[in-house]
Structure 1
C-alpha cells in the first residue's frame, strides 16, 4: 500500500485520542473544574474494576482458542525485551545527565515501562475500523486486536508491578534516607564548639559511660548499649546539657546484607504477583482465556443460540464504555504535568529520544528477526502489536507508584506531559512505518 494512505489510517485513531483527551484536559482545568481529581479517581476505580475486565473478557472469550494460547508464547518474551532495552538506555541517560539520586529509578522506569494496555486497547480497534485498513475485515480485526491488547495489558502489568515498582520503591528509600540525613545534620551537636570549650576551660569534666544500666538494674556492655553519655558540667547553669551520641551497632556482614535484600525483594515480588493476579483486569483476562479455550464453556456464552448469551451481551456493553473513559482520564491526568519541576530539559529530551527513536528501531529488528526464525504466527496484526509495544509512551501506573511512595510526583507528571504530547506524532509515524514494512 502507498505510504500516504497508511499514514491516514494510522493518524485517524490518534486524532480521536487527541480530541477526547483534550476534552478531558479542558474539563480538568481550574476554569471548568468539572473533571476534578476526585472525580478522575472515582471514575478510574470504575474503569479498573468494571469496564476494563468486561472489555477483556468479551474480546478474549470470542476470539481465543487453546491453539492461540500456544502460538502467542512469544509475547511475554517480547515485553521482556522492551523492558531490558529500555532499562539499559535509561541507565545510560542517568549516567549522562547525573540527576539527583532519588530520580534515577524514576527515569529508568519511564524508559522501560510502556503503556502496553490502555493505549493499545484504544489504538488497535480504532485502526481496524478505519476505512482502508490493511488488516482485513474490521469486525474480525477489532476482536483479535482487543484480544492481543488485553493479553499485552495483563503481561505488561506483571512486569510493571514487579520491576518498575522495585525501581520506584528504591527511589523512595533513597529519598527518605536523604531527608533523614538532612534532618540529622541540622540536629548534630557542634563538636568543634565542644572541643573549643575544652581548650578554653569551659569544659571541665567529660564523663563517658562505658556501661549503661538497663531498666532492670543489669549493666549493659558497650557493644550492647544504645548510646554513650557525655555530660558537660562546668558551663554556666543556663547552658548545662546532656549530649547523647549514638554509638554504631555492630554491622552485619556484606553477605548477610545481600541475602536479606534478596529475600526481601523475592517476598515483595511474590506478593505483588499474587496481588496482580487478583486484580480485576487480570481476572477478566483469565476468565476470558478459560471461556475461549474450552469449547464446551464457550458454547454456553458465545453464539446466537447460546443459553447464556445475555450475560456476554451485557458484559460487552459494559466493555464498550472502557475506551472513552480511559481517554478522558488520560487527558485529565496530563494537566498535572504543567507544574514546574527540578527535572532538566536534557533529561526529558533524552527520554523522548529513547522512547520514540531508539526503541522503535530496535523493535523492528527484534520482531522481524523473530518472524524470520518462525517464532511468530502469520497474522500481520500480531506482528504490528509486537512492534508497537516498543513505541508506546510510559505507563500511567508509574504515576500511581510515585503517588503511593510520595517521591518524584511532579517530575513524573512533567515526563508524562511531554512524552504523551510527542506520542501523538511519534505513534502515528511509527504505526505508518510498521504497516509499510508489513504490507510492502
Structure 2
C-alpha cells in the first residue's frame, strides 16, 4: 500500500470529524441559532444516558464472545498502558507549563484517553480492502478487524467512563470551588471549617473527647464522599452498558436471545443499535458548537497545545511500538499481525470524543477542550498516516 493511499485512508475519519464539527460550529452561530448552549447541554445529556450506552452495549454483545475475551486478554492491558503512559506524560506537561487548576485534569484526560471507537471503525476496514494490504484476504481481514475494533471500543469505554470521567468530574469540582472562593457570599463551608479549626486550636486542653468526635465525623464524611463518588462513576450508564455487553457477549444463550437474524428478541438489539448510531454525530456536533465559543474565550498557550500534540503523536506511539514488540517477544499476544497493528495504533489515536461529553456534562473547560480537539485532530491526519505506515512496515 502506497503512502498516498494510506494517507487517504487514515485521513478520512479525521476529515469526517472536522466536517461535522464545522457544521456544529455553524449551527451554533447567531445566524442559525440551532445549537445554543442550552440545546447543547440537553443534547449532551441524551448522549450520555442513551446514545453512548447503546453503542457500547451493542458493540460488545455482537462481536465478542467468551473465548475471544480470554484469548485477547492483552488488549485491555494494552489500553490500560496507553492511559498510564499518557497520563504520566500529561502530568509532566502540567508540572512544567502549569496551566490553570481546572485545566490540568483536562490535559491529563486528553493525553491519556484515545479515540478507540469511530476512528478505528473506519481505518481498519479501509486498510483491509486496499490492494496490497499486508493483512491477507480483504473479507476475512475486515470481519476480524471489526471484532478487534469493537472490543477495543468497549474496553476503552470502561476506562474512559471510570478514570477519565473521574478526572473531568474532579476538574468541575475544582472549577466551582475557585468560583466560590472569588464570591464572598459563598463562605458557608469555609466558615464551618474555620469553626472546627478554631475549636481544635482553642479547645485542645479542655475538650479532648469533643475534638476526637469532630475528627471522626470529618474522616467518616470524607470516606463516605469518596465511596459515593466511586459508586457514581461505576454506575454511570456507559459503564453499566459495558458490563452488560460483556455478559451478553460471553454468555451464549443470552446472546442468542437478542443477537442474530433468528433471535426471538432481535428487535431489541436493532433498536439499541439504532440509538448507538446517533452517538458519534451528536458528540461531534456538540464539539463544533463549543468550538465557536472556545476560539473566542479559551485561554490556552500555544506551547501547551504543542506539548499535548507531542505527547499524543510522538512519545506515545514510540512507547506503543516498544510495548507491543516486547509483548510479542514474550509470547503474550496472538501472532496475527492485524491484532498487533491494532495494539500499536491504540497508542497513536487523537483524544476520545467522550471527553467533550464530560466537559459539557460537568460544565467545565468546554471551550479549552474544543480548541485542543481542533488542533489534535488536525495533526492526527498526518500523524496517523505516518505511524500507520511505520507500524505496517514493522509488522510485515
For normalisation by structure 1, the TM-score amounts to 0.70
1:144-163 superposed Cα distances (whole Å, 9 cap, x missing partner): 44443343333333333443
Alpha-carbon distance in structure 2 between the residues aligned to 1:294 and 1:120: 26
**Partner SS, residue 362 of structure 1:** helix
**Partner SS, residue 248 of structure 1:** helix
Alpha-carbon distance in structure 2 between the residues aligned to 1:93 and 1:66: 40
Alpha-carbon distance in structure 1 between the residues aligned to 2:218 and 2:84: 23
Is 1:248 aligned with 2:208? no
Is 1:350 aligned with 2:310? no
What runs of 5+ residues in structure 1 fail to find an aligned partner? 188-223, 228-245
Alpha-carbon distance in structure 2 between the residues aligned to 1:324 and 1:176: 30
Contact 1:162–1:269 (CA under 8 A) maintained in structure 2: no
Aligned-pair CA distance for 1:410: 3.1
Task: Assess, with a 3 A threshold, how the Cα gap between structure 1 residues 166 and 49 changes in structure 2: closer, same or farther.
Answer: closer
Task: Assess, with a 3 A threshold, how the Cα gap between structure 1 residues 181 and 34 changes in structure 2: closer, same or farther.
Answer: closer
Is 1:117 aligned with 2:133? no
Aligned-pair CA distance for 1:68: 0.3
For 1:418, the equivalent position in structure 2 comes to 375
Aligned-pair CA distance for 1:250: 1.3
For 2:347, the equivalent position in structure 1 comes to 390
Contact 1:27–1:34 (CA under 8 A) maintained in structure 2: yes
Alpha-carbon distance in structure 2 between the residues aligned to 1:361 and 1:295: 39
Aligned-pair CA distance for 1:282: 4.4
The structure that has the greater radius of gyration is: 1
Is 1:361 aligned with 2:315? no
**Partner SS, residue 376 of structure 1:** coil
Alpha-carbon distance in structure 2 between the residues aligned to 1:405 and 1:51: 18
For 1:65, the equivalent position in structure 2 comes to 65
Between Structure 1 and Structure 2, the one with more helix by share is: 2
Contact 1:117–1:153 (CA under 8 A) maintained in structure 2: yes
What runs of 5+ residues in structure 2 fail to find an aligned partner? 202-210
Aligned-pair CA distance for 1:70: 0.1
Task: Assess, with a 3 A threshold, how the Cα gap between structure 1 residues 53 and 172 changes in structure 2: closer, same or farther.
Answer: closer
For 1:378, the equivalent position in structure 2 comes to 335
CA RMSD between the two structures: 4.1
Contact 1:162–1:272 (CA under 8 A) maintained in structure 2: no
Contact 1:121–1:146 (CA under 8 A) maintained in structure 2: yes
Is 1:97 aligned with 2:57? no
For 2:153, the equivalent position in structure 1 comes to 153
Deviates more, 1:78-87 or 1:380-389: 380-389
Alpha-carbon distance in structure 2 between the residues aligned to 1:60 and 1:117: 12
1:313-338 superposed Cα distances (whole Å, 9 cap, x missing partner): 55555555555555444444444432
For 1:107, the equivalent position in structure 2 comes to 107
Is 1:275 aligned with 2:235? yes
Task: Assess, with a 3 A threshold, how the Cα gap between structure 1 residues 17 and 247 changes in structure 2: closer, same or farther.
Answer: closer
For 2:14, the equivalent position in structure 1 comes to 14
For normalisation by structure 2, the TM-score amounts to 0.76
For 2:208, the equivalent position in structure 1 comes to none
Alpha-carbon distance in structure 1 between the residues aligned to 2:180 and 2:239: 39
1:365-391 superposed Cα distances (whole Å, 9 cap, x missing partner): 111211221211233332222222222
Aligned-pair CA distance for 1:271: 0.5
Alpha-carbon distance in structure 2 between the residues aligned to 1:40 and 1:184: 31
Alpha-carbon distance in structure 1 between the residues aligned to 2:148 and 2:142: 10
Instruction: Count how many residue pairs are aligned between Structure 1 and Structure 2.
Output: 380
Contact 1:63–1:143 (CA under 8 A) maintained in structure 2: no
After TM superposition, list the pairs within 5 Å mapping 1:123-272 onto structure 2: 123-125=123-125, 127-128=127-128, 133-137=133-137, 140-183=140-183, 248-250=198-200, 263=223, 266-268=226-228, 270-272=230-232
After TM superposition, list the pairs within 5 Å mapping 1:315-326 onto structure 2: 316=273, 319-320=276-277, 322-326=279-283
Task: Assess, with a 3 A threshold, how the Cα gap between structure 1 residues 271 and 55 changes in structure 2: closer, same or farther.
Answer: closer
1:11-69 superposed Cα distances (whole Å, 9 cap, x missing partner): 34434444444434433433344455555555555555555555555544443232101
